[in-house]
Amino acid sequence: MSEPLIFRGVAHPPAKSKREHHSDLSVGELAGIAKGNLGGLPLHVEHDTSVPAVGNVLSSYEGKNGELRVMAQVEDPTVAQEIRNGSLRGLSLGTDCVMDMDGATLSRSQKELSVCEEGRRDGTWITHLDGQLVHQVACASNRFGTLATRTCPAIDVDIVF
């Protein structure tokens, strides 16, 4: 087998003041799992846990804008090729939510990370493959100015205009 494909990316954007879905994480929850706590989590494709994992998360850390970033490896050569060619560049965090009978969430825990075509949450993309930048967002609004290097919210890469 060839060397695993190593990638970095955003698994969860910065927390919002109000959850849009019961699986969305708060500032405190993000901070708690951002300290390498996702290391060893299995990596799947489109949350299909009925087949073996295609890799695993190596580490998790907090980006400079409060987003949850991950470094992971893909050991399946077919999936690695789909990531390289751009068809699987989204990331999606598989969160197990336990609720009471009234629908209130009692606990959230991360069970897996998936590569996918596009994650549900904004800004959840693979940003680097084997150390090379492969995804960036151009922020060209008045707030970010023009013809300057800026960092856009929810991502941890420099943007050049």
User: 107 and 36 in contact (C-beta within 8 Å)?
Assistant: no
Q: Which of 151, 43, 18, 131 is nearest to 94 (CA)?
A: 43
- Asked whether residue 146 carries a pLDDT value surpassing 80, the answer given is no
pLDDT in tens, 84-138: 999 999 999 987 778 899 988 888 878 999 999 988 888 899 999 988 888 876 6
Domain presence at residue 151:
no
CATH code, domain carrying 101? 3.20.16.10
More confident residue, 6 or 22: 6
Sign of CA dihedral 137, 143, 149, 150: negative
Q: Which pLDDT belongs to residue 69?
A: 95
Question: Alpha-carbon distance 86 to 77, whole Å?
Answer: 14
Answer whether residue 68 is part of any domain.
yes
Our count of domains for the chain comes to 1
46: domain range? 5-135
Q: Flag whether 155 is in a domain.
A: no
Task: Tell me, yes or no, whether 141 lies in a domain.
Answer: no
**For the segment 81-97, what is each residue's pLDDT rounded down to a tens digit?**
999 999 999 999 987 77
Would you say 9 and 125 are in contact if contact means Cβ atoms under 8 Å apart? yes
**Residue in 142, 131, 46, 54 with CA at minimum distance from that of residue 94:** 46
Does some domain include residue 23?
A: yes
- Please, which pLDDT band fits residue 144 given cuts at 50, 70 and 90? low
Compute the distance between CA of residue 19 and CA of residue 14 in angstroms, rounded to an integer.
Answer: 11
* Contact predicate 144/150, CB 8 Å: yes
Task: Say yes or no to pLDDT of 151 above 50.
Answer: no
Q: Are 133 and 127 in contact (CB under 8 A)?
A: yes
DSSP-based three-state secondary structure for 91? strand
Distance (Å, whole) CA 58 – CA 46: 19
Tell me whether residue 91 is in a domain.
yes
